[in-house]
Amino acid sequence: MTATTTAPASAPTDPVGTPPAPRGRLRRALPVLFPVAVVTGIGFALYDRAGELAALVLRPDSVPYLLAALAANAVAVLFSMATWRTLLADLGPGIPGRTATRIYFTSYLGKYVPGAVWGVLAQLRMGGAAGVSGPVVLAVFLLNLIVAVLTGLAVGALAAPWTIGAEAWWLVLPGAVTVAWAVRPELLHRLAAAAARLARRPAPGVRASDRGMRRAMASATASWAVGGLHLWALAVMLGARPLTALPVCVGGFALATAAASLVVVLPDGWGAREALLLLALTAVLPWQEATAAAVASRVVCTLSEVLVGGAALLLTLPRRSP
């Protein structure tokens, strides 16, 4: 940049034939590469699982359970969108609901690409085009992640007596943090400021209101609770006792998904979540049925997320002016 500002006036500022910078080429290619990567990630998530799913679907009595599982996870996805939109409305400038929905689901489907950076890049690019500054986008992303993980671990305590046993005491910690955070949301901002001082960085320039944080936590908790019902439907379909399986499935799904979301090198925690789900499901199902339920859970979640996300993107397509 120094060379540009000190160049002589006679020097050409836009030489003909100069190839575009690699960063510029990448920026222009992102709108094409991102959806291709998302579709590829979804394909890997479904690959080699068609046989197990078909064995379940071909049973006539399985169809109602599978439909209920799809519906439950679809509602959970909408609750998760509500969490993100609550934080965005609280921290950033007001943008149309259609635009916010489109930003969310574009980045949401990016979780099928390895690495957490793609969803952030999508939010930064689309948020900037909608008038949301980069610091606000990053703050919303990080707060949304923290809310999701903490509430997921707190809900995961429901399954602890059946899955972890005597070692379940550590799940009291995220539950206690979540309760303290709900009572005094400003504690999070103090923690963020302290972390910034330790890192010798400026404190975050934006902060959410107490009301906004409580609403985000409520919708995130609802998302985990409703989302876990899809696993419960699958477990009951495979022979689990409904009352015993309910806390195991709701808590186990929240715990497995929240923990696996931190494994950023895997698309949507692919593999890590299934391993954790098995630990919970074997408390109410034999090993073979528990494995089938974990596999079916991945397929059901992927299908419902793609259907909801795809429908939302279609419904929020920019309207062409006549």
What is the per-residue DSSP string for 109-175? Answer: HGGGSSSTHHHHHHHHHHHHHTT--HHHHHHHHHHHHHHHHHHHHHHHGGGHHHHTGGGGGGGHHHH
Most confident of 41-55, 126-140, 193-207, 254-268: 126-140
Q: What is the pLDDT of residue 204?
A: 64
DSSP 7: S
Residue 8 pLDDT exceeds 50: no
Which of the pair, 115 or 228, is modelled with greater confidence?
228
Percent of the chain with pLDDT over 90: 28
What Å distances lie between residue 251 and 103, 156, 234, CA to CA?
29, 4, 15
Most confident of 155-164, 196-205, 207-216, 265-274: 207-216
The least confident of 8-17, 130-139, 180-189, 213-222 is: 8-17
Report the distance separating Cα 193 and Cα 175, nearest Å.
Answer: 22
| Phi, psi values for residue 115, rounded to 5° | 95, 140
Question: How far from chain centre, in Å, is Cα 278?
Answer: 21
Residues in Cβ contact with 152 at an 8 Å cutoff, skipping those fewer than 6 apart: 220, 224, 254, 255, 257, 258, 259, 261
Work out the burial of residue 52: count CB atoms within 10 Å of its CB; fewer than 13 is exposed, 13-18 middle, 19 or more buried.
Answer: middle
Report the pLDDT averaged over residues 31-38: 57
Report the pLDDT averaged over residues 273-295: 87
Q: Are 265 and 114 in contact (CB under 8 A)?
A: yes
The least confident of 123-132, 154-163, 221-230 is: 154-163
Report the pLDDT averaged over residues 249-278: 78
**pLDDT confidence of 183, banded at 50, 70, 90?**
confident
Q: Are 139 and 210 in contact (CB under 8 A)?
A: no
Reading the block at residue 271, the tokens are 């593999």
Residue 78 pLDDT exceeds 90: yes
Mean of pLDDT over the chain: 79
Residue 38 pLDDT exceeds 60: no
Which of the pair, 65 or 189, is modelled with greater confidence?
65
Report the distance separating Cα 90 and Cα 188, nearest Å.
Answer: 15
Report the pLDDT averaged over residues 19-35: 58
Report the run of H or E that residue 90 belongs to, with start and end: helix 63-91
Q: What is the pLDDT of residue 10?
A: 44
Q: Are 282 and 255 in contact (CB under 8 A)?
A: no
